Amino acid sequence: MTHGNSTIARLNDRGIVEVAGPDSASFLHNLLTNNIEQLKTRAAAYAALLSPKGKILFDFLVYRRSEDRFLLDCAKEVTADFVKKLTLYKLRANITVTDRSDELAVGAIWAEAAALPATEGLEAYDDPRFAPLGQRFVAPASFWATQPGADDENAASAYHQRRIAFGIPEGGRDFAFGDAFPHDACFDALNGVDYRKGCYIGQEVVSRMHHKGTAKSGVVIIEADDQLPESGAEIHAGDSPAGHLGSVDGARGIAIVRLDRIERAQADGKPIRAESVNVAVKTPPWLAGKDGAP
């Protein structure tokens, strides 16, 4: 839906987990890849909860609504599992962990002069991964009745087209939960890892990969002259398997690939293909240090 000079959409594929209580900041800080204790009220951070082996179990945006209340914007399909995992780690922490997905919904707003309709208690926050992507907000279900068109699939598709154009990956779409390391999904470049904070689950693996430079995979934008195959299609660099397509929007998509194999194929003049379709591999603007709209 277009609202003035901005565009607004409800993201029905996202859920909300609330972590609240006097120990909520320290609880999250000690678990997650990012620095939560330094997160300002009414600001957001990108973060992940990892396995002890350093694999991404859940990725999400953390919104600090107040000093001791946090809303975690995660993939809706894993919300229940996320609540269980956080509850498992709760131990004696003075917090509550609650699935609020039935009461609250995630929205996105973008384009020039983006602004939410004046609604009491409704606040937008900049997407912490890449500013040109726009803003996110959390609204009660009743809000969407006042926004005809924002709650349909076309509005959500417009948001994902923008996300794909910028090459910003999401867990469950562009990498499988429990399968990728933060470096594979370029968490550091997307402001999702704080290397200066103390220990958290999986921190030793992440730190070792960072300091030794052992990561071989990364996020790229895939473009073709024709329609790309569906998500999951295998990508080959010459004769070598290099990764799989993630999110797809027509002739453009996101992939996490073996960068060394892509570079070798390019140097040798060998084609890069998604199944049988020849493709070009491009560096996302946030990784190239660029800015601006797609």
Kindly report which listed range (5-9, 123-127, 218-222) carries the lowest average pLDDT score.
Answer: 5-9
Summarize the confidence of residues 199-208 as an average pLDDT.
92
The per-residue pLDDT for 51 is 97
**CATH class of the domain comprising 2-166:** alpha beta
Give, for 20, the enclosing helix (H) or strand (E).
strand 14-20
Q: What percent of the chain has pLDDT over 70?
A: 93
CATH classification code of 216-288: 2.40.30
In degrees and rounded to multiples of 5, residue 216 shows phi and psi of: -110, -15
Could you tell me whether strands 252-258 and 240-249 are parallel, antiparallel, or unpaired per DSSP bridges?
antiparallel
Mean pLDDT to the nearest integer, 187-214: 90
CB atoms within 10 A of CB 209: 18
Alpha helices in the chain (DSSP H): 24-29, 79-90, 153-166, 203-212, 259-268, 285-288
Burial group, residue 253, by CB count within 10 angstroms (0-12, 13-18, 19+) = buried
pLDDT tens column, 128-181: 999 999 999 999 888 888 887 777 788 899 999 999 999 999 999 999 999 999
pLDDT of 6 reads 60
Q: Is 119's pLDDT higher than 70?
A: no
* Domain range annotation of the chain: 2-166, 216-288
Q: In what order do the strands lie in the sheet with 104-110?
A: 2-3, 6-10, 104-110, 135-140, 124-126
Q: What is the pLDDT of residue 267?
A: 95
The amino acid sitting at 202 is G
Statement: residue 3 has pLDDT above 90? no
Across 40-62, average pLDDT: 97
Dihedral (CA of 82, 83, 84, 88) sign: positive
Our CA dihedral for 196, 65, 186, 288, rounded to 10 degrees, sits at -100
pLDDT of residue 198: 83
Q: How far apart are CA 108 and CA 124, in angstroms?
A: 8
Quick one: pLDDT band at residue 294, thresholds 50, 70, 90? very low
Q: What is the pLDDT of residues 252-268, one digit of tens each?
A: 999 999 999 999 999 99
Beta strands in 103-215 (DSSP E): 104-110, 124-126, 135-140
- Mean pLDDT, to the nearest integer, of 1-22? 82
Residue type (1 letter), 235 = I
| One-letter amino acid for residue 131 of the chain | A
Task: Output b/e per residue, 277-293; b: 16+ Cβ within 10 A.
Answer: bebebeebbbbeeeeee
Gyration radius of the chain's alpha carbons: 19
Q: What is the pLDDT of residue 5?
A: 43
Average pLDDT value for residue range 215-242: 95
289, 282 in Cβ contact below 8 A?
Answer: no
Residues facing residue 124 across a β-bridge: 137
